[in-house]
Amino acid sequence: EAQVTQNPRYLITVTGKKLTVTCSQNMNHEYMSWYRQDPGLGLRQIYYSMNVEVTDKGDVPEGYKVSRKEKRNFPLILESPSPNQTSLYFCASSLSSGGGPYNEQFFGPGTRLTVL
Amino acid sequence: ILNVEQSPQSLHVQEGDSTNFTCSFPSSNFYALHWYRWETAKSPEALFVMTLNGDEKKKGRISATLNTKEGYSYLYIKGSQPEDSATYLCADPPRNQGGKLIFGQGTELSVKP
């Protein structure tokens, strides 16, 4: 089944404790992206990747890191989480970065993160 | 950041009503316009990707139109059903900004039986 998977789905952690949220897709998509969803603010893009080893900042990249060493995986790293990073996170992928704007995005199931 | 705005923010209709809502986006440098449907406790799913001025797309009872010159898209739902209850998001990928996708805040639709 074609899908985007994220792990963990739920995470409660404490300020400053490094964490990684994994994202994997099995559709051979070139483009991958991370979003956060906060009430009243909508989906905001954190980072995106046009292909392996190519990543770029979205609109709210502060406090996050990403890497794209393999086509299928795009982990989101919080080196020192803070309470303002408590949010619902979505990973998404689409077929081709070259035709990126024309390709629908496929979203993972979401990760609900709470930073105490 | 270019603004993508959706209206209304929320909508409550009765089963069987037809409804529509709006997505406004900057008309300059238009590239494409995405519509997504997001049910509670699930992840957003693509409905349409629209690229041409005057484009009209349809999926079952849901259809969308696009006016790139004036910068708006309408989403229509004919004969709303309770299972149509969801948040409907539109998104604009700005030209010359790589893979960025800017979402509106969504229209939350509630259909009462």
Q: Which tens digits make up the pLDDT trace of A16-65?
A: 999 999 999 999 999 999 999 998 888 999 999 988 999 999 989 999 99
The pLDDT mean for chain B works out to 91
Q: How many CB pairs under 8 A join A and B?
A: 64
Segment B55-59 mean pLDDT: 95
Asked whether the beta carbons of residue A104 and residue B51 sit closer than 8 angstroms, the reply is no
* pLDDT band, residue A113 (cuts 50/70/90): very high
Give pLDDT, residue B98: 65
Q: Which residue has the higher pLDDT, B102 or A20?
A: A20
Return the number of other C-beta atoms located less than 10 Å from residue B64's C-beta: 23
Give pLDDT, residue A50: 87
* pLDDT band, residue B1 (cuts 50/70/90): very low
CA-nearest of A106, A113, A22 to A68 is A22
SS (H, E, C) chain B: CCCCEEECCEEEEECCCCEEEEEECCCCCCCCEEEEEECCCCCCEEEEEECCCCCEEEECCEEEEEECCCCEEEEEECCCCHHHCEEEEEEECCCCCCCCCEECCCEEEEEEC
Give pLDDT, residue A98: 60
Mutate to test the interface with A, among B7, B38, B40, B43 (most CBs of A within 10 A): B43
Query: If interface means Cβ-Cβ distance under 8 Å, which residues of chain B face chain A?
Result: 1, 31-32, 34, 36, 42-46, 49, 51, 89, 91, 93, 95, 98-106
Amino acid at B106: G
Q: Could you tell me whether strands B10-14 and B107-112 are parallel, antiparallel, or unpaired per DSSP bridges?
A: parallel
Say whether pLDDT at A112 is over 80.
Answer: yes
Segment B45-69 mean pLDDT: 94
Say whether pLDDT at B94 is over 80.
Answer: no
Query: If interface means Cβ-Cβ distance under 8 Å, which residues of chain A face chain B?
Result: 31, 33, 35, 40-45, 48-50, 56, 58-59, 90, 97, 100-110
pLDDT in tens, A68-105: 999 999 999 999 999 999 999 999 999 875 656 678 89
Asked whether the beta carbons of residue A105 and residue B45 sit closer than 8 angstroms, the reply is no
pLDDT in tens, B82-92: 999 999 999 98
* pLDDT band, residue A66 (cuts 50/70/90): very high
Q: Where does residue B4 fall: left (phi above 0), alpha (psi -120 to 50 degrees), or beta otherwise? A: beta
Distance of CA B10 to the CA centre of its chain: 13
Q: Distance (Å) from the C-alpha of residue A75 to the closest C-alpha of chain B? A: 17
- Rounded Cα gap, residues A75 and A73, in angstroms: 6
Give pLDDT, residue B29: 75
Asked whether the beta carbons of residue A42 and residue B32 sit closer than 8 angstroms, the reply is no
